[in-house]
Amino acid sequence: MITGKQRSFLKKIAHNEKPITQLGKAGITDSFIEQLEPVLEAREIVKISILDSSMLSAAEACRDVAEKTNAEFVQAIGSKFTIYRRAREKDNRKIRLPK
């Protein structure tokens, strides 16, 4: 669980990031989650865009994706949301959260 201070820190990082992937009308599939796993391990923070054809809201999709990937919700704005998960491998850790 991340604190409010850590969430703010992650929001600053995510602000300049472009969405890595898109969530379409198929929704959150096992394939989507499988593709997201190595990206989360490599980058730790991921921004995802939701297409108009998807029937999910950003907040709804974010909660579901975060739960399935054991990630933390960072923010959901409009049709984009951001999640964070600390890399399991120490060599892949790029983000150092404030205490």
Q: For residue range 40-53, what is the model confidence (pLDDT) as tens digits?
A: 999 999 999 999 88
| DSSP string of the chain, one letter each residue | ---HHHHHHHHHHHHTPPP-EEE-TT-S-HHHHHHHHHHHHHHSEEEEEE-TT----HHHHHHHHHHHHT-EEEEEETTEEEEE---SSGGG-------
May I ask the CATH architecture of the domain 4-86? 2-Layer Sandwich (3.30)
4-23 pLDDT per residue, tens: 999 999 999 999 999 999 99
Sequence spans of domains, the chain:
4-86
Its pTM stands at 0.92
